[in-house]
Every structure is written in structure tokens, then in C-alpha cells.
């Protein structure tokens, strides 16, 4: 009993310290990547808006483990094996941007979007930005995940943008 009481107090104190620190961490994270593509902004936007092209460039779908892909005009859903359904639902579209409700592996508190703009007044080049906004719960482990989210999701966005660039520039010639 002499050893258990200090151990219990130490674990309880550490738990409160971690919980207290997590209150100062943001509950909303934004991950963003951009690239320059040699095509018109409207062409890049139309390609991204077309769900049937996502399997060619989007790493969330192009991996061999994605299956049961169901495509409609405003919603795309897929599964990884027997896991929960993932989906992207078009929320808004403008001439230079697209915004989706993004549900990945059961997390329904995410939005994803693309912004397309001319690069330095050159009508043949497009700056394409892909962003994801995640709203985290109050749980300390989710808040601490937010610190590393850019390192985890960022390379996936980089891969997707490079595949999109390759896909669009290949179609241009």
C-alpha cells in the first residue's frame, strides 16, 4: 500500500497536467499544400470536380486497398476493407474553388477544399491549393494528434497534388 498511494497520486497528477496542457491546444487544425500546374484554372477545377477522375490522382482512393467505390454527381464514397465508409460530399462550388464535407475512417468533423487561381497573371499556369480542416474533440490525445497532423496528412496531400499535376499536364499534350 505504501508504494501504490504515491504511484496513484503521481499518475493522477500527470493526467491532470496533460489534460490542462491540452486545453491550450487548438481544436481546429488546417493542413494545406499547393503546387503549380501548367493548365488553365477552369480545367483543373473541372478535373477535381469530376469524381470519376479521383482514382487516377487522389491518394485516398488510388491506393489498391480502396474498394466499394460509389460515385454520384455530388457524393463519392469508398471503403478500406471492412472499415467504416469514407465519403466526400460537394458542399459548395465557385469558379475558383470547391469545398467538400470529408469523412475519413469515421471522422465526420472534416472539410476539404481546393482553390485554383492563375499563377502570376499567366493564363497557362494554375496555382492549385488543397486543404483539409479537421475539428478535433476535447480529448487530450486528439489535441496532441493535432500537433503532428501536418506531418501525417501533408505528404498525402503532396502526393495527390503531384499526381494531379502529372494527370493534367499529361492530358494537355
Per-residue pLDDT tens for 108-165?
A: 789 999 999 988 877 788 999 999 999 988 888 888 888 998 999 999 999 999 999 9
Whole-number pLDDT of residue 54: 87
B/e letters for 134-151, b = 16+ CB within 10 Å, e = fewer, are bebeeebebbeebeebbe
Q: Give the helix/strand (H/E) hosting 15.
A: helix 4-22
* pTM of the shown model: 0.82
Location of C-alpha cell 499518475: 11
DSSP code, position 94: -
Q: Give the helix/strand (H/E) hosting 153.
A: helix 140-172
Our measurement of the distance from residue 31's CA atom to the centroid of its chain's CA atoms, rounded to an integer in Å, reads 7
Instruction: Provide the 10 A C-beta neighbour count for residue 43.
Output: 15
What architecture is the 27-172 domain classified under in CATH? Answer: 2-Layer Sandwich (3.30)
Residue 171 has pLDDT above 90, yes or no: no
Whole-number pLDDT of residue 67: 65
Whole-number pLDDT of residue 138: 86
> How many helices (H) and strands (E) are present in the chain, helices listed first?
5, 7
Our measurement of the distance from residue 169's CA atom to the centroid of its chain's CA atoms, rounded to an integer in Å, reads 23
Whole-number pLDDT of residue 31: 94
* Residue-wise pLDDT tens digits, 33-75: 999 999 888 899 999 998 888 888 988 886 656 666 777 778 8
- Lowest-confidence region among 28-37, 54-63, 91-100: 54-63
Whole-number pLDDT of residue 166: 93
Amino acid at each position: 500500500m505504501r508504494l501504490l498511494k504515491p504511484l496513484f497520486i503521481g499518475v493522477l497528477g500527470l493526467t491532470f497536467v496533460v489534460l490542462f496542457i491540452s486545453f491550450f491546444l487548438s481544436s481546429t487544425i488546417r493542413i494545406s499544400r499547393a503546387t503549380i500546374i501548367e493548365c488553365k484554372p477552369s480545367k483543373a477545377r473541372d478535373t477535381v470536380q469530376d469524381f470519376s477522375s479521383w482514382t487516377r490522382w487522389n491518394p485516398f482512393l488510388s491506393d489498391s486497398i480502396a474498394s466499394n467505390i460509389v460515385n454520384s454527381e455530388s457524393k463519392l464514397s469508398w471503403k478500406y476493407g471492412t472499415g467504416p465508409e469514407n465519403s466526400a460530399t460537394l458542399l459548395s462550388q465557385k469558379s475558383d474553388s470547391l469545398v467538400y464535407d470529408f469523412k475519413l475512417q469515421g471522422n465526420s468533423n472534416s472539410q476539404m477544399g481546393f482553390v485554383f487561381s492563375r499563377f502570376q497573371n499567366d493564363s497557362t499556369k494554375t496555382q492549385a491549393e488543397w486543404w483539409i480542416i479537421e475539428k478535433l474533440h476535447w480529448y487530450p490525445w486528439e489535441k496532441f494528434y493535432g500537433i503532428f497532423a501536418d506531418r501525417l496528412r501533408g505528404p498525402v496531400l503532396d502526393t495527390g497534388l503531384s499526381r494531379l499535376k502529372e494527370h493534367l499536364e499529361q492530358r494537355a499534350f
